[in-house]
Structure 1
Amino acid sequence: MDVVAAALERIERADPALCAFTEVWDADALRRAREVDARVAAGERLPLAGVPVAVKGRHGLRAAEPLLAAGGVAVGATSVPGPGTPWQTWGLGARGRTVNPWRADRTPGGSSAGAAVAVAAGLVPLATGGDGAGSVRIPAAWCGVLGLKVTNGRLPSPDRTGLAAPGVLTRTAADAAAWWRAVARPDAPVEPPPSLPLPALWSPDLGFAAPDPEPVALARAAVGRLVDAGVVRLVRPVRPSVPVRLLDPAPAWLALRTPGTDLADAHRVRAENDRRLARLFTGVELLLTPTAPTAPHGHEGPGDVYSTALTWAFNVSGHPALSLPAGFGTDGCPAGLQLVAAHGREALLLAAAREAERRGATG
C-alpha cells in the first residue's frame, strides 16, 4: 500500500501544474492496495502486486482489467483531448490543458497525453494507452518515454474501424514487458531471445513524408547508437536512394474513419503497402524511422502539419510499433525513434528496447 500512497502523493503535488489526470481515485486505490497486500500475504502470486497504474480516459478501466487481475492498482484516469478538438495532439485534464513536463508551453502529444505525462513525470511507472494513428507513440516521443502499440486485432479494442490498438507507456522496457505479459493471451507463443545485432532498415520519411531536419537527425543519431552498441545492424537496401517507399496512408486512414466513404482506394493503398511491408520484413527484423515529423508544438496547435505522418501507416497496416527515447532537440524537448516489426512480434520490439537500455544506447 505504501507504493500506491506515495504515487497518490506525487499526483496531488504535481498534477495541478501538469494536468495529466481527469480523475484521481484516492480512496478506491488505497482500498484496492490493501486488498492486494492481503492477497500477497496469504500466498497469492500477483506479478504486478501493488503497481500504481494510470488508465487512459474515464472509460479506460476495461482495458486495464488484465493489469488489475495481476495485482495492479488503478490510481486515476489520464487526460485525452477535449470534445470538439481540432486536428492536433494535446490533452485536457481536470484543471486545464495538459502540459509537456519538459516545457509547459508545449503539448505532450496525444491522444494519450496525460498517460505520457504521468509516466514521464514519475507519477506512475505504467499507463495504458490506445493508438489509432500514433496516439501512444507520439506522446511517448515528445515526453521522452517508451510507448508500444501492439499488432492491430491482437488485443480487444472498441474501435469499429480496426485502426486502433491498445498500448502502454512506461519509463523502461522491463515495465512494458511486464504489461505485455499481463495482457497477452496465455497461449501466446514465447519467443526466444533475439540474435543480435538485428538486421534493420532506416527510413527518414517512409518515402512520402516531409519531416523536419532535427527530428530526423535525432532519430538517425539514435540509430547510430544502436549500431555501435550491437543492437542492430543496418542492411543495405536494394535501391540505396529509396530504402523504403510506402504509399501515403493519409487518404486511406481518413476514408476508413469516415462512415459512408467509398473505400475502394483505401483498400488499394492498404493492400499495396501491406505487400511492400511483407517483402521488407522477409529481409529485416526492424524498420526504423523518426517517431514524429516535428518537435512538440505549442498549445495553439500545429497548423497544417500532421504529427501522425510517420505513425499512422502502421495503424492502417496493423504492424506493432514502439517509440524509444532518442535524445533532446534544441528546444529542450525529447524526440523518439520508432521501431516497427512484423505482425505479432511485440516481444522482439521489447527485447530490442531492453538491449538498447541495457547497453546505454537510448537518448
Structure 2
Amino acid sequence: MTLVTEEGGVAVNDLARLSAGELLRGYRAGHFTPVDVVDDVIASLKRVDSRCNVVVEPLYEQARRHAEAAALDWAAGRPHGPLAGVPVTIKDLVFVAGVPARGGAPANQGFVPKADAAVVSRLRAAGAVVTCKTTTCESGYKLTADSPVSGITRNPWRLDRTSGGSSGGAVAAMAAGCGPLAVGTDGVGSIRVPSSFCGVFGIKPTFGLVPRSPGFSPPSWGSLAHTGPITRTVADAALMLGIMAGHDARDGSSLPLSGFTYEANPGSLAGLRVAASVDLGYAAVDPEIRAAFDRALDTLANCGAAVIVDGLEVDPGILDRTLKPIALTEQAAAVSGRSAADLADSEPDYLAAIDQGRRYSGTDYIEATYRRGDLRAKFLALFDRADILVTPTVAVTAFAAGTLGVDAIDGRPVDPHLGWSPFSWPMNLAGLPAATVPCGFDRDGLPIGLQIVAPWLGEAAIFRVAAAFEAAQPWAGRWPDIA
C-alpha cells in the first residue's frame, strides 16, 4: 500500500494512514514533515474517537511539540533515531511519565506515574512521537476494551460490534487509520484478539523478550502478560519490535538478551514445515472461521510451505484446570491491597473474577503450574516435527459491543469470558511468540485472523511467514468506513 504519489503528493487526511516505512521515506524525501503527519493523526484520532471511543488520555499538545523538534532535525539532515517523527499510541496499562495511568480501573483515577515504561523510553529514544493513551478494560481482565473509566470501545468495521481487547482502543484506532504504530499488552490474547477482530497485525513476543517494568499497571497476569507491537504492516512490527526488545534489569522476567533486529521481507516459504490445527483438538469454532482457515492454509501452501494438518491435542479442561487458577489468582493478587470501598465502582464481572481468584488455594495454583508444564512439553514435541504452528486467532468474529463474549459457538456452549478465544491464552501459558494476520472477512464484513506461532525466540520465523502471507493476500489497503 502506498498513498504517496510519484510527485510526493498525499491526499487530504491520508498521512495518518501511511505506514512507518512510508513516513520515514517521505520525511527523507521532503514530501512532508512530522508536523504535517502528527496534525493529521490527531485529526484522525479525534474523528475516530467520536465514533469508536479509542482515546482515554490525549497528549496532542505534547505530540505537536515533539513533532516540531523532529521536523527541525529532519530539515537539518540529522533525524534522531530510526523512528524519528513517527507517531505511536500507548495502551493505558503502560506507563507514560506524568500522564494518568488508570488502566480502566476507577480505583486508579488519581494515579500518575513518575517514570516511562521501558518500552516507552525506548520508543522515545528512537524518535517516536507519543500521541495518546488508548482505552482498555478494567485492569486488562477481559478480551474487550470496555471499562467503567472510558465506556465502550467499538469496532470501526461495524460500530455495533466490539473492538475486542483488552488492547481494543489501540487496535480500533490503528484499523481506522490513526497512525502506524501502537503499543499493546497481551495476558490472554489482548493484542491478538482485537487485532483479529479489527483486521490488523499484532504480535505477542516471547515472554520476557520485551520488558514490562517500571510501568505496567496493575501487575495482573504476572506470569502471563507480554507487551508488543500493533501495526498495519508486518515490516512496521518488525522494526518496532527490534526497538522494544531487550533486557531491562528492573523486570525480573526480562530475558538477559539484547541486540535484536528483525526483517520482514516477503519470499518463498519453501522448506518450512507448518503444522496446522483448526481446533487444538478441543475447541468449538464457528464454521466461517474454519472456512477462512482452510483458505489461509492454501495460501501458505502456494507460498511454498509444507502444510501438515497436525493432531496437536490440548487438555479440554485447560481453561478451568490450568488457566483460571493461574490467571484469576494473579488478578486477585494485583488488587490484594484494595478494600471493598476501593473497588466499589468496578464492573460486576471484574469483581466476580477477583472473587473467584481469591477462592483458589495455593495448592490449586501450584497444581495448575504443573499442568502448564505439561502444555509446554506438548509444544516442545510439536516443534520437533514442525517449524511453525498456525491456528485461527479467535473462534468467532466480533460480537455485540458492550457484552463480555458469546456463550455458544456452532451450537456448543463455551465460557463467555474466555471460552470463545481458545487459541490465544494457551500461547500465554507456554510463553510462546504468537502473531495474528488478517486472513479474510465473514458474511457481515468483519475481519478474521490467522494465528502464527513459533518456538520460543522464534519471532524471525513469524515475520518470515507473516510477510509472505501479507504479500500473497494483502490487507493494509482495506479500510473501514465509519463516516
- CA shift, 1:86, in A, is 8.1
For residues 95-244 of structure 1, what are the structure 2 equivalents within 5 Å?
96-157=151-212, 158=216, 159=219, 161-185=222-246, 187-188=258-259, 196-197=269-270, 198-230=272-304, 232-235=305-308, 237=310, 243-244=311-312
Bigger mean CA deviation after superposition, 34-43 or 219-228? 34-43
Q: Which residue matches 2:127?
A: 71
RMSD of aligned Cα (Å): 2.4
- CA shift, 1:95, in A, is 6.6
| Matches of 1:109 and 1:332, distance apart in 2 | 16
| Matches of 1:86 and 1:354, distance apart in 2 | 31
- CA shift, 1:87, in A, is 5.0
**SS at structure 2 position matched to 1:287:** strand
Q: Is the 8 A contact 2:70 2:84 kept in 1?
A: yes
Which amino acid counterpart does residue 344 of structure 1 have in structure 2? Answer: L
Which amino acid counterpart does residue 126 of structure 1 have in structure 2? Answer: L
1:27 aligned onto 2:27: no
1:3 aligned onto 2:64: no
Runs of 5+ consecutive residues of structure 1 not aligned to the other structure = 238-242
- CA shift, 1:126, in A, is 1.1
Which amino acid counterpart does residue 146 of structure 1 have in structure 2? Answer: F
1:90 aligned onto 2:145: yes
Residues 151 and 88 (structure 1), Cα distance of their counterparts in 2 relative to 1, 3 Å cut: closer
Q: Which residue matches 1:240?
A: none
Q: Residue by residue, what CA displacement relative to the aligned partner does 1:140-166 show, whole Å, maximum 9, x if unpaired?
A: 000000110000112212446220011
1:46 paired residue among 58, 81, 105: 81
| Matches of 2:475 and 2:47, distance apart in 1 | 29
**SS at structure 1 position matched to 2:132:** strand
**TM-score for both structures, normalised by structure 1:** 0.91
1:345 aligned onto 2:458: yes
| Matches of 2:183 and 2:260, distance apart in 1 | 23
Which amino acid counterpart does residue 103 of structure 1 have in structure 2? Answer: R
| Matches of 1:270 and 1:350, distance apart in 2 | 27
Aligned identity (percent) is 33
- CA shift, 1:294, in A, is 1.3
Q: Is the 8 A contact 1:138 1:307 kept in 2?
A: no
| Matches of 1:358 and 1:88, distance apart in 2 | 29
Bigger mean CA deviation after superposition, 202-211 or 256-265? 256-265
| Matches of 1:123 and 1:195, distance apart in 2 | 32
Q: Is the 8 A contact 2:201 2:234 kept in 1?
A: yes
Residues 113 and 69 (structure 1), Cα distance of their counterparts in 2 relative to 1, 3 Å cut: same
Q: Residue by residue, what CA displacement relative to the aligned partner does 1:68-115 show, whole Å, maximum 9, x if unpaired?
A: 1111100001110147x9855233598741110111110010000001
1:270 paired residue among 372, 381, 385: 372
Residues 191 and 146 (structure 1), Cα distance of their counterparts in 2 relative to 1, 3 Å cut: closer
Q: Residue by residue, what CA displacement relative to the aligned partner does 1:290-345 show, whole Å, maximum 9, x if unpaired?
A: 00011211123324332331110010000000001010011211110000000001
Q: Is the 8 A contact 2:279 2:285 kept in 1?
A: yes
1:245 paired residue among 313, 324, 329: 313
Residues 144 and 236 (structure 1), Cα distance of their counterparts in 2 relative to 1, 3 Å cut: closer
